[in-house]
Structure 1
Amino acid sequence: MSQIPIPRPYRLASLATLVLTTVATSVGLFVPNFYRDHPVLLPQIYGQDLLTLIVGVPALAISLYYANRGSLRGYVIWLGVTGYLLYTYASYAFMTAFNELYLVYTTLLWLTLFTFVGGMVRLDAATLKRDLGEASVRPYVAFQLSLAVLVSLLWLSEILPATLEGTSPLAIAEAELPTAVIYSLDLGIIVPAFVLTAYWLWNRRAWAYAFTAVLLVKIATLGGAVLAMIVFMTLEGQAVPLPQILIFGTLTAISLWLMGRFLMAIGSESNPVRARTS
Structure 2
Amino acid sequence: MKTVPPRSVVVWSGVISLLVVLASVAGLADPQVYGQETENWATQAKGQDLGNLLAVVVLVVAALRYRKGSQRAALVWLGALLYLIYAFIVYAVAVHLNYLFLVYVAVLGLSAWGLIFNVDRVRGGGIQYPQGRSRTVAAWVIITTGVLFAGLWLSELVPALLMGKVPASLTDAGLWVNPIHVIDLSMVLPGFIISGIATLKGREHGLFWLAPWLVFSGLMGSSIIAAMVLMMGAGAANTVPATVMVSVVVAASLLALWGYLRLPAPVRSDGS
Q: Any unmatched runs of 5+ in structure 1?
A: none
Post-superposition shift, 1:76?
A: 1.4
Q: How does 1:212-227 map to 2 (within 5 A)?
A: 212-227=210-225
Give the whole-Å Cα distance in 2 for the aligned partners of 1:179 and 1:271.
44
* Corresponding residue for residue 73 of structure 2: 74
Asked whether the 8 Å contact 1:75–1:272 carries over to 2, the reply is no
Aligned residues: 270
Q: How does 1:227-238 map to 2 (within 5 A)?
A: 227-238=225-236
Per the normalisation by structure 2, the TM-score is: 0.92
* Corresponding residue for residue 271 of structure 1: 268
Percent same amino acid among aligned pairs?
26
* Corresponding residue for residue 171 of structure 2: 173
Post-superposition shift, 1:93?
A: 0.8
Q: How does 1:103-252 map to 2 (within 5 A)?
A: 103-124=102-123, 127-128=126-127, 130-135=128-133, 137-252=135-250
Post-superposition shift, 1:83?
A: 1.1
Post-superposition shift, 1:188?
A: 0.4
Asked whether the 8 Å contact 1:70–1:272 carries over to 2, the reply is no
Post-superposition shift, 1:267?
A: 2.9
Distance 1:131 1:141, change over 3 A: closer
Q: Any unmatched runs of 5+ in structure 2?
A: none
Distance 1:266 1:93, change over 3 A: farther
Q: How does 1:5-44 map to 2 (within 5 A)?
A: 5-6=5-6, 8=8, 10-35=9-34, 36-44=36-44
Asked whether the 8 Å contact 2:80–2:216 carries over to 1, the reply is yes
Distance 1:267 1:145, change over 3 A: closer
Post-superposition shift, 1:149?
A: 1.4
SS of 2:113's equivalent? helix
Give the whole-Å Cα distance in 1 for the aligned partners of 2:144 and 2:52.
25
Asked whether the 8 Å contact 2:147–2:193 carries over to 1, the reply is no
Give the whole-Å Cα distance in 1 for the aligned partners of 2:134 and 2:125.
17
Give the whole-Å Cα distance in 2 for the aligned partners of 1:139 and 1:69.
29
Post-superposition shift, 1:7?
A: 5.8
* Corresponding residue for residue 97 of structure 2: 98
Give the whole-Å Cα distance in 2 for the aligned partners of 1:31 and 1:194.
35
SS of 2:40's equivalent? coil
Distance 1:63 1:72, change over 3 A: same
Asked whether the 8 Å contact 1:72–1:272 carries over to 2, the reply is no
The one-character-per-residue Cα deviations of 1:169-228 (angstroms, maximum 9, x if unpaired) are 111122221111000000000111012111211110122111001001111111111110
Post-superposition shift, 1:13?
A: 2.7
Post-superposition shift, 1:96?
A: 1.3
Distance 1:244 1:108, change over 3 A: same
Aligned amino acid, residue 117 of structure 1: I
Distance 1:134 1:189, change over 3 A: same
- Tell me whether 233-242 or 192-201 shows the greater mean CA deviation: 233-242
Give the whole-Å Cα distance in 1 for the aligned partners of 2:155 and 2:247.
20
* Corresponding residue for residue 51 of structure 1: 51
Post-superposition shift, 1:266?
A: 4.7
Give the whole-Å Cα distance in 2 for the aligned partners of 1:125 and 1:2.
13
Per the normalisation by structure 1, the TM-score is: 0.90
The one-character-per-residue Cα deviations of 1:114-165 (angstroms, maximum 9, x if unpaired) are 111222221236843x341445532122212211211111111111111111
Give the whole-Å Cα distance in 1 for the aligned partners of 2:125 and 2:167.
44
* Corresponding residue for residue 259 of structure 2: 261
The one-character-per-residue Cα deviations of 1:52-81 (angstroms, maximum 9, x if unpaired) are 21x111111111111111111211111111
